[in-house]
Amino acid sequence: MKKSDDELFAEEMAGVTPLPADGRAAPKGKPGEPTPAQLARRRAAEAKADDLNPLTLGEVRPVAPFDELAWKQDGVQEGVYRKLRLGRYPLQATLDLHRMTVREARDALYAFVLEAVALDLRTVLITHGRGDRSATPARIKSYVARWLQDLPEVLAFHSAQRQHGGYGASYALLRKSPEKRMDNRERFARRN
């Protein structure tokens, strides 16, 4: 004797409990606690982000809390560098690295510089702190001094003026985005 589709369906659904009236299943585990799959995805994303970030977490040359940070790539004009050093360019964005671990500061600085270049920002302020009261003096400041030199998007940097944080902050001059460089080439080519 053949069973109807309704009878077959009822047999298959015998041990199933229906969803509540709102149509949502109750989550397993504690609310807000990530599932093992979510944790695995997070670890994979962090590992991938680490692979893309070229900034070192190894040892760097230490600087003292009251050392002045100063560096520029070859080709940066002295007048441009002087204006940067004296804080004469408008600050278009700031990044505060206070109370961050070295890894957090590294990730934040890398993302900040890439985003600033994508937004065509040229002059930014990075507040790293002097680190004169920490167990390892000027640790973040030392890393920032190295990282800024390692990023090809950074043309120059210098310790900030007192009103912008003094030895606990640095101005950074960023490379123009490719679109901005093309605009300048086209604009100056028309003049000739």
The predicted structure's pLDDT at residue 38: 77
Catalogue the long-range contacts made by 147-151 (C-beta closer than 8 Å, 24 or more residues apart). Answer: 147/55, 147/56, 147/106, 147/109, 147/110, 148/71, 148/109, 148/172, 149/71, 150/54, 150/55, 150/56, 151/54, 151/55, 151/110, 151/113
Q: What is d(CA 23, CA 158) in angstroms, rounded to the nearest whole number? A: 59
CATH number, span 71-182: 3.30.1370.110
User: Tens place of pLDDT for every residue, the chain, 192 residues?
Assistant: 578 888 888 888 888 887 777 767 666 666 677 777 777 777 777 666 556 889 999 999 999 999 999 999 999 999 999 999 999 999 999 999 999 999 999 999 999 999 999 899 999 999 999 999 888 899 999 999 999 999 999 999 999 999 999 999 999 999 987 777 788 788 877 665
Q: Are 129 and 141 in contact (CB under 8 A)?
A: yes
Question: What is the value of pTM for the model shown?
Answer: 0.70
In sequence order, the 6+-apart residues with CB closer than 8 A to the CB of 69 are 63, 141, 144, 145, 157, 158, 159, 167, 170
